[in-house]
Structure 1
């Protein structure tokens, strides 16, 4: 993410990272891309649970998935961390708050 995230984007990113499993997924993928079955074994969760967490991370723009074919023709979904850089300072939070569209408390 080249520009600072908007308030809504920041809320979504922080919500996605506020879960221990999702934080472990990002940490694992920081070492390089991986496919779902292997990533599930590495993290120690079921594939359906992993998919749920990956969807949340993907919606927040923190990971990206791509379907690829293996040498034997099997479809495999690979995920990798996207380029993002969050600097949380009081000024950055104040600027992000000015762009919030949601008034939820």
Structure 2
């Protein structure tokens, strides 16, 4: 996802990463993996919305999730951690983008 080939793909990427709530989720799991409830409490948004965003991040390859079994309910928790990435936007990149 971080290598857009067209103007449309670049616009979608910028729109996706330009969301303050999504950026706060990434920030929360940059250095330490956490499960959805922890993230929800830390960033102050609902757990269902956090789960939606985490699935989108996983699909984009920006976050990895690992299931773990615990001794207390909920017994199965999915822990998330951000995948390191770098994205550089400049005129050279834009000029090399293909047509849609």
TM-score when scaled to structure 2?
0.79
State the structure with bigger RCO (CA 8 A, min sep 6), 1 or 2: 1
Contact 2:31-2:81 at 8 Å conserved across structures: no
State the distance in 1 between where 2:76 and 2:42 align: 20
Question: What is the RMSD computed on CA atoms of the aligned residues?
Answer: 2.3
Please list every run of 5 or more consecutive structure 2 residues that lacks an aligned counterpart in the other structure. Answer: none
Deviates further, 78-87 or 50-59: 50-59
Aligned residue pairs, count: 97
List, as ranges, runs of 4+ consecutive aligned residues in structure 1 with deviation greater than 3 Å: 8-13
Trace 1:36-55 onto structure 2 (pairs within 5 A). 36-55=36-55
Partner of residue 90, structure 2: 89
TM-score when scaled to structure 1?
0.76
